Amino acid sequence: MRRQTLSLTALSFLWLLISWSRNPVSASASEQQEQPKKIAVIGAGIGGTAAAFYLRQEFGPGVKIDVFESGTVGGRLATVKIGDDEYETGGSVIHPLNLHMKHFIEKLGIPQRKDVPSKVAIFDGKELTFEESDWFIINLFRMLWRYGFNLIRMQMWVESVLDKFMRIYQYQQYGYSFSSVESLLHAMGGNRFLTLMNQTLEETMMSDGFSQMYLNDMVAPITRVNYGQSVRVHGFVGAIALAGADSGLWAVDGGNNRVCYGLLYHSKSELIPARVTSISIKVRPSKTGSTASFYEVNYVEEAGSAHSLYDIVVIATPLHQGKSDISFSGFSPPIPSHYPGRYHQTVSTLVHGLLNMSYLGTTQLASEFTVSDILTTDSKGSVIHSLSSLDPVHIPAGYKRPPASHTKVWKVFSPQPLSQEQLKNMFLSWDFVSESRWLAYPEYRPPQRKTPPFILHNRLYYLNTMEWAGSAMEMSAISARNVALLAHHRWHGQADKIDQEDLHTRLRGEL
């Protein structure tokens, strides 16, 4: 009896040893034969190019990855050339704790843009109601005098959200993925995060004891500059906007869209300059006698229309009115071309000109006015959302931001294009104007209806649903990694890596 137990133990030990040593080999051998052959990504913004990068990481060197782009690589990350320099017209700043964006530039060997200290003022349509001093201590006293501890409390509030937000990096590091935005948010911050999506930022902050005056004077200008909307956006995107007022924000040297080109190159994807018009499902007999299904991607390129078959497709552009028009045929239940909800227009106007100081209702000398970002309150007089002195995407050695007495590049965000009248009011003179009309980010009106799924069909994924939690470069990157992990786990039938509950407790102590 005893002997047998012993030998059984020895046997199972031996088996363990064998399976340990064989496991990696047999796993990769079996994966090899059943890896997907072709993957399509629709859209070459930061979301699509990051998806290509992570898909390559998950599926290895054997799979062919095609990235379709109908416009310009970078999408909402874009620059305009004025004189000898380039300037960002779309997504511009990145938070110091945006770890995926940081990882990308490290991997690609692209440096951060040299920092130029910024200085903020707030304009109510008539005059400057707040102006940051060069002295930290003066700012602190001014704020304490006016708003008591609102400012410090706000920093703590944003930090508490950010703290939970950071959990996503650990989950993704361990390969965990989520099938909906809601389950991803729940894994990060539990019901609190879901509730944030269902309340306005105003409601959330008021019930946390912030004053209405502080919300109007300091918070609204921040939601306006970041999302072109009021403090009635939902609390989660509100927290992202407020984190966008933290210190240590950075940008990519040479332009943020360089990351997209770099990711395309690094992932060894093929860029197909074409507009995808429809996706349909095709069933083909397979070698083994059964059937296999593929996605047929139909597209229009310069040479005319064409189509190709793919095992996996990732849609990395918003499926909304005015953003993209892709029709889906043969799916049951049907997939809509456009989901409900609207994208908000933000017009970004770059002006090379001389600022009219009286427009800001100030008698300060232009030669002494070195404010970089003028935010605006939500008042009748404010036709613009913000006015910023813009530094080029590459900061030359010895660069100092010139004062307002110099003709220089300004960036105006407004909900409508600026009229000649409005320009004449803001600028004494100008010699160059460039206007970009962006359908920039979702209109955030809580309560948030259920977000579209990450999984549109078996192997058809949708990245930009994430924007309904908050639109930012890092959010697209997080979504890209989530979708690549989902695609991998679902291809290999690893259900234990999808929508796991209580990850935070389970992974505690692992790092």
Ligand X SMILES: *[C@@H]1O[C@H](CO)[C@@H](O)[C@H](O)[C@H]1NC(C)=O
Ligand Y SMILES: Cc1cc2nc3c(=O)[nH]c(=O)nc-3n(C[C@H](O)[C@H](O)[C@H](O)COP(=O)(O)OP(=O)(O)OC[C@H]3O[C@@H](n4cnc5c(N)ncnc54)[C@H](O)[C@@H]3O)c2cc1C
Contact positions toward ligand Y, by CB under 6 A?
42-48, 68-71, 75-77, 90-94, 275-276, 316-317, 324, 326, 346, 348, 438, 440-441, 464, 471-474, 476
Q: Which of 261, 359, 430, 432 binds ligand X (CB under 6 A)?
A: 359
CB within 8 A of 52, min separation 6: which ones?
41, 65, 67, 263, 264, 267, 269
76 binds, among ligand Y, ligand X, none (CB under 5 to 8 A by kind): ligand Y
**Degrees to nearest 5, angle at CA 445 with 244 and 215:** 50
Sites for ligand X among residues 428-457 (CB under 6 A):
428, 447
Could you tell me the smallest distance in angstroms from the CB atom of residue 28 to ligand Y?
Answer: 32
Could you tell me the smallest distance in angstroms from the CB atom of residue 504 to ligand X?
Answer: 18
Could you tell me the smallest distance in angstroms from the CB atom of residue 389 to ligand X?
Answer: 17
CB within 8 A of 404, min separation 6: which ones?
355, 357, 366, 367, 369, 370, 371, 389
* DSSP result, 391-427: PPSS--TT-----TTS-EEEEEEESSPPPHHHHHHHE
47/392 with CB nearer ligand Y: 47
395/428 with CB nearer ligand X: 428
Peptide bond preceding 333 in cis form (omega within 30 of 0):
yes
Binding to ligand X by residue 111, rule CB under 6 A?
no
468 binds, among ligand Y, ligand X, none (CB under 5 to 8 A by kind): none
Strand 64-69 with 270-285, pairing: parallel
Could you tell me the smallest distance in angstroms from the CB atom of residue 182 to ligand X?
Answer: 8
96/447 with CB nearer ligand X: 447
Q: Which of 57, 195, 327, 345 binds ligand X (CB under 6 A)?
A: 195
Could you tell me the smallest distance in angstroms from the CB atom of residue 344 to ligand Y?
Answer: 9
Binding to ligand X by residue 194, rule CB under 6 A?
yes
Could you tell me the smallest distance in angstroms from the CB atom of residue 5 to ligand Y?
Answer: 59
Is the Cα dihedral 413, 417, 421, 423 positive or negative?
A: positive
* Three-state SS annotation for 168-191: HHHHHHCCCECCCHHHHHHHHHHH
Could you tell me the smallest distance in angstroms from the CB atom of residue 425 to ligand X?
Answer: 5
DSSP state letter for 470 = -
Bridge partners of 282, per DSSP, are 294
In a 3-state reduction of DSSP, which class is residue 260? helix
Q: Are 176 and 485 in contact (CB under 8 A)?
A: yes
194 binds, among ligand Y, ligand X, none (CB under 5 to 8 A by kind): ligand X
How far, in Å, CA of 442 to CA of 414, rounded?
16
77/80 with CB nearer ligand Y: 77
183/198 with CB nearer ligand X: 198
Site string for ligand X, 317-356 (x = CB under 6 A): ---------------------------------------x
Which residue is it, tokens 């361990």? 174
Could you tell me the smallest distance in angstroms from the CB atom of residue 205 to ligand Y?
Answer: 22
Distance in Å from the first CA to the final CA of the chain: 44
Q: Which of 212, 425, 458, 494 binds ligand X (CB under 6 A)?
A: 425
259 binds, among ligand Y, ligand X, none (CB under 5 to 8 A by kind): none
Q: Are 158 and 150 in contact (CB under 8 A)?
A: no
Q: What amino acid occupies position 431?
A: D
> Which residues here bind ligand X, judged by CB under 6 A?
194-195, 198, 356, 358-359, 425, 428, 447
